[in-house]
Structures are given as structure tokens and as C-alpha cells.
């Protein structure tokens, strides 16, 4: 059960509405509660009945996972300085947000999940139309599992015209669905067909890359190809994520859903982690960022 009483929630929401009216600006509130241990896969599946914007992230190095549902606030940028712009907006949000968190556990409260395209100027959209070039999301609900402990963060953007009881009712109803709603046993569907896209162009790119490496034009290149697959039944996000976590235990598992479209992946690489003023990187496809920095410092 949630360790939060309705009067406390009512007081927080009422205070945010009053503050929004006083300042003439919406107020972002975040409430963190420790709850009974909840399976991240169950939570992710139940969430489809709340919102078609779901996020999942699981660590490769520790028993730690996050599941986001809906959106309290989204930060988007199409600017050439997209990283700096999003960082600036995020820092401003953190300063002004009212966070009620007695636990101070990593990955709870105001957490932004999202991603950036490699090339902001890439003109080819297919099959990425549903995913903005640069976007991070503060989920409306965030389940954080650390070991056998679960925490639920509820993030709400409150406007002065909002009605307290309506907000309370919506939170209670959606939390009940996420924590106690029914979940059917899910199975991965069977594959009916698969087609390699532009296979001849792919083979030619290999020949070209091989020649460029021999001539010294390239030292290394990573080539990707597209495979389109059809199944005999709808593919459920939670089923895919659960299968990946069970079969790719040494990988970081992630999933981003936007309006029913999904971007799912598993990778053993950690690009960058900053913790207690230490920069950690695990780039298996080449020398790590830390190693490069060391070599540069020594030379």
C-alpha cells in the first residue's frame, strides 16, 4: 500500500493550485512514496491502460530499473544547441519544482528520460516519425525498483484553473490501475516473414568500407542494416522488455513509446556515467572515453 494519506495529498495539491494562482504560472510538484515491491514488467504492462507514452530503463551493472508512464512535462528542442537548451530548461524546472521526497533514493522524484538523434540535420524520417529529434520527458508516474524495494514518484503540473478533487481523483484512479490493475500472461508472437531492406546497397557499402580501410581513409566503421519483420499477433511492449531482460542480463535495456510506436534496445555499453565527480565510460566497440582522456593527459 502507498505510505501517503489522502489529506496529505490534498494539502499538497491545494497548495500548488494556490501558488499557481498567486504567481500566474503552473507549478510542478513531485511526490515520492515507498510502496510494496512491484514488478517492473507488470507495471509497464498495466500502464498501457493509462497512457501510450511509456519508458523503461534497466541497468546492466546493478539491480536497478525505472518505468515511466505519461508525461508531467516534456522538453523538446530543434535548435542547433539542443543539448544546452534542454539542459537549461531542465535546470530551471528543477529549481522551481516542489519535491516531497523523504527517501532521497537515486532515480526517484524529478527524473527526465529521453533521447537525442545522432544527426539533428538528417532528412530521412522513416521509420522515426513518431520520435522527435531531441526530447526528454518527466513522467507523470515513475516506478523505481532498487533491489527488492519499490518507489512510486507522482509528478503533476498544476495550473491555477485546476480543481483539487479532480486532480486527486485522477491520481488515485491511475495509481490503482498501475499497481493493482489486471495483467494477462503475455507471450511473444510468432514471426511470419522478414525482409532485408536494400540488401545490394548494404553489400556495396561493405566493399566500399573495406577498400577505404585498406587505403587508410578509415580506421574503423560501424555499418547497420534494416530488417523488417511481420508477426502473427500484436507485439506487446512488456513481453519484449521482459524477454530482453531475461536473455540479455549483462545489457542495459531501454524502451521508449510514443503514441503506440516503440524504440527498444539492449546494449552492454555504458556511454557516460557521472557519479561523485567521477566520469565512467564503458565503450566496448573501441577505446573508452576515460582511456582516451588519460592518453591525452599523459602525452
The per-residue pLDDT for range 157-199, each reduced to its tens digit, is 999 999 999 999 999 999 999 999 988 787 899 999 999 888 8
Cell 566493399 belongs to residue? 207
Give 259's Cβ-side CA count (13 Å radius).
5
In a domain, 26, yes or no: yes
In a domain, 245, yes or no: no
Same domain, 226 and 109: no
Same domain, 208 and 79: no
Instruction: Report the distance separating Cα 134 and Cα 117, nearest Å.
Output: 7
Residue 124 banded pLDDT, cuts 50, 70, 90 = low
Same domain, 14 and 155: yes
At residue 239, does pLDDT exceed 60? Answer: yes
Same domain, 136 and 77: yes
Same domain, 11 and 142: yes
In a domain, 65, yes or no: yes
> How many CB atoms neighbour CB 257 within 10 A?
23
> How many CB atoms neighbour CB 14 within 10 A?
15
In a domain, 242, yes or no: no
Residue 53 banded pLDDT, cuts 50, 70, 90 = very high
Same domain, 84 and 225: no
DSSP for the chain, written as a single string: --S--HHHHHHHHHHHHHHHHHHTS-EEEEEEEEES---HHHHHHHGGGT-S-EEEEE-SSSSEEEEEES-SEEEE--STTHHHHHHHHHHHHHHH-EEE-SS--TT-SS--EEEE-S-TT----TT-TTS-SEEEEE-SEEEEEETTEEEEEEEEEE-TT--HHHHHHHHHHHHHHHHHS------PPPEEEEEETTHHHHHHHHHHHHHHHHTTS-S-------EEEEESSPPPHHHHHHHHHHH-TTSEEEEEEETTEEEEEEES-EEEEEETTEEEEE-TTS--HHHHHHHHHH-
| Parallel, antiparallel or unpaired: strands 134-138 and 252-258 | unpaired
Same domain, 34 and 125: yes
pTM of the model: 0.87
Same domain, 169 and 211: no
| Domain end marker among 180, 201, 219 | 180
Q: Is 207 exposed, middle or buried (0-12, 13-18, 19+ CB in 10 A)?
A: exposed
Same domain, 128 and 210: no
Same domain, 139 and 203: no
User: How confident is the model over 21-40, as pLDDT tens digits?
Assistant: 999 999 999 999 999 999 99
In a domain, 1, yes or no: no
Same domain, 74 and 133: yes
In a domain, 238, yes or no: no
Domain that holds residue 165: 6-180
At residue 84, does pLDDT exceed 60? Answer: yes
In a domain, 246, yes or no: no
Instruction: Report the distance separating Cα 264 and Cα 229, nearest Å.
Output: 14
Kindly state the average pLDDT of the residues 104-120. Answer: 89
User: How confident is the model over 4-18, as pLDDT tens digits?
Assistant: 444 489 999 999 999
**pLDDT exceeding 70 applies to what percent of the chain?**
90
| Domain end marker among 160, 180, 200 | 180
Q: Please state the domain count of the chain.
A: 3
Instruction: Report the distance separating Cα 55 and Cα 72, nearest Å.
Output: 13
> Could you tell me if 150 and 144 are in contact, meaning their C-beta atoms sit under 8 angstroms apart?
yes
In a domain, 279, yes or no: yes
Same domain, 15 and 144: yes
Amino acid at each position: 500500500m502507498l505510505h501517503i494519506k489522502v489529506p496529505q495529498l490534498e494539502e499538497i495539491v491545494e497548495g500548488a493550485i494556490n501558488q499557481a494562482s498567486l504567481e500566474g504560472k503552473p507549478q510542478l510538484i513531485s511526490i515520492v512514496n515507498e510502496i510494496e515491491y512491484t514488478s517492473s514488467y507488470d507495471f509497464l504492462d498495466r500502464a498501457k491502460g493509462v497512457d501510450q507514452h511509456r519508458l523503461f530503463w534497466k541497468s546492466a551493472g546493478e539491480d536497478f530499473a525505472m518505468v515511466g508512464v505519461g508525461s508531467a512535462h516534456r522538453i523538446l528542442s530543434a535548435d542547433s544547441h539542443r543539448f544546452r537548451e534542454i539542459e537549461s530548461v531542465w535546470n530551471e524546472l528543477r529549481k522551481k519544482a516542489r519535491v516531497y521526497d523523504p527517501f532521497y533514493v537515486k532515480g526517484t522524484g524529478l527524473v527526465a528520460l529521453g533521447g537525442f538523434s545522432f544527426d539533428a540535420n538528417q532528412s530521412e524520417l522513416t521509420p522515426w516519425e513518431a520520435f522527435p529529434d531531441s526530447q526528454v520527458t518527466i513522467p507523470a508516474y515513475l516506478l523505481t525498483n532498487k533491489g527488492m524495494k519499490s518507489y512510486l514518484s507522482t509528478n503533476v503540473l498544476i495550473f491555477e484553473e485546476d480543481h483539487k478533487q479532480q486532480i486527486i481523483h485522477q491520481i488515485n484512479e491511475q495509481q490503482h490501475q498501475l499497481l493493482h490493475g489486471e495483467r494477462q500472461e503475455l507471450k511473444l508472437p510468432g514471426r511470419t516473414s522478414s525482409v532485408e531492406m536494400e540488401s545490394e546497397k548494404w553489400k556495396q557499402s561493405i566493399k566500399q568500407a573495406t577498400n577505404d580501410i585498406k587505403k587508410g581513409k578509415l580506421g574503423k566503421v560501424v555499418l547497420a542494416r534494416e530488417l523488417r519483420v511481420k508477426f502473427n499477433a500484436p507485439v506487446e511492449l512488456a513481453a519484449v522488455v521482459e524477454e530482453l531482460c531475461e536473455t540479455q542480463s549483462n545489457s542495459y535495456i531501454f524502451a521508449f513509446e510514443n503514441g503506440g510506436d516503440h524504440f527498444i534496445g539492449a546494449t552492454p555499453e555504458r556511454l557516460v556515467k557521472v557519479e561523485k565527480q567521477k566520469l565512467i565510460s564503458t565503450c566496448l566497440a573501441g577505446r573508452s572515453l576515460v582511456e582516451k582522456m588519460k592518453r591525452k593527459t599523459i602525452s
